[in-house]
Amino acid sequence: MSPRSRSSTAARVQAHAPVFAALGDKTRLSLVARLADGRPHSISQLTAGSRLTRQAITKHLRVLESAGMVHSSREGRESLFELSPQPIKGIREYLDLVSEQWDQALSRLKSFVED
Amino acid sequence: MENRIEKRIELKAPVSRVWRALTDYREFGEWFRVKLESPFVPGQVARGQITHPGYEHVKWEAVVQKMEPERLFSFTWHPYAVDPKIDYSKETPTLIEFRLEKSESGTLLVLTESGFNKIPSERRLEAFRMNDGGWKAQMKNIESHVAQKP
């Protein structure tokens, strides 16, 4: 692992840890799935068909919002929530980096045992 | 496609040699670039200091899971937990597994890192489809990336 990619990995871990954490919950996953149509949804729409209360759904939406995965806007008296695709793309890049670090470590292992 | 990284690499060395390079804490430290304090023991925390130039201030920590001689070595850790200001202990650790198999040229080593904090399974990934490609396509990228660099 080169120092440069390592330090950028550190920055990425910092940036993406909340995204991984935000996705590590079934309710939030299903909210993200419902928001995946790319359109803004009200809390009432997102609560419909769920066994959870409006308050609980709102709390999960705020977690997603603080991880940068959704953003909200107001329309009249209602808050509308919309998905931000960037953090999910970021995760892919993060996994690519971890993958690359392993390539480098394993190639050092190869020279180590074959020499 | 799962939330894991898998690498397969052929090593021209006997299984016993590769096993030692993986599980002897001094040998592991040589190629992984970490100075470990003590031998690996299942169920115990392994601690050390990174020796990679420029990163000597970074601590390394993992919890050894399994050591099945010449077959399986595994540990959990927080991947690239290199920023001392961040408390990584609250995050779900990932699981690293090294599996060894005898092969024609010596040893087939299969490395997996899994459990990136419960990234959704394939069926869940479908739901993430978005205009610019979505999870599934992105995960394919990872697959081909991994395939290109065995």
| pLDDT tens sequence across A59-107 | 999 988 887 888 999 988 889 999 887 776 666 666 777 788 889 899 9
Examine the pLDDT at B19 and tell me if it is beyond 90.
yes
Extract long-range pairs of B140-145: CB within 8 Å, 24+ residues apart: B140/B1, B141/A92, B141/A96, B142/A92, B142/A95, B142/A96, B142/A99, B142/B1, B142/B5, B143/B1, B145/A96, B145/A99
CB contact under 8 A, A105 and B124: no
Examine the pLDDT at B122 and tell me if it is beyond 50.
no
Q: In terms of CA atoms, which chain B residue is nearest residue A15?
A: B86
Q: Which two tokens stand for residue A87?
A: 């953090």
**Burial of residue A89, with CB atoms counted within 10 A of its CB: 0-12 exposed, 13-18 middle, 19 or more buried:** middle
- The per-residue pLDDT for A66 is 85
Q: In terms of CA atoms, which chain A residue is nearest residue B146?
A: A99
Examine the pLDDT at B144 and tell me if it is beyond 60.
no
- The per-residue pLDDT for A101 is 82
More confident call, B43 vs B119: B43
Examine the pLDDT at B24 and tell me if it is beyond 90.
yes
**What tens digit of pLDDT does each residue of B84-111 get?**
666 666 666 789 999 999 999 999 999 9
The band of B39, judged by pLDDT with boundaries at 50, 70 and 90, is very high
The band of B81, judged by pLDDT with boundaries at 50, 70 and 90, is low
**Burial of residue B90, with CB atoms counted within 10 A of its CB: 0-12 exposed, 13-18 middle, 19 or more buried:** exposed
Judge if ipTM > 0.90. no
- The per-residue pLDDT for B83 is 58
Distance from CA of A53 to the nearest CA of B (A): 23
- The per-residue pLDDT for B2 is 40
Q: What percent of chain A has pLDDT over 90?
A: 29
CB contact under 8 A, B111 and A113: no
The band of A32, judged by pLDDT with boundaries at 50, 70 and 90, is confident
Stretch B69-93: mean pLDDT = 76
More confident call, A70 vs A24: A70
Question: Which span out of A20-24, A102-106, B131-135 was modeled with the highest average pLDDT?
Answer: A102-106
In this structure, is the dihedral angle defined by the CA atoms of residues B133, B139, B140 and B146, taken in order, positive or negative? Answer: positive
Chain A interface includes B69 (CB < 8 A): no
Q: What is the CA radius of gyration of chain B?
A: 17
Distance from CA of A74 to the nearest CA of B (A): 23
Q: What percent of chain B has pLDDT over 70?
A: 65
Examine the pLDDT at B126 and tell me if it is beyond 90.
no
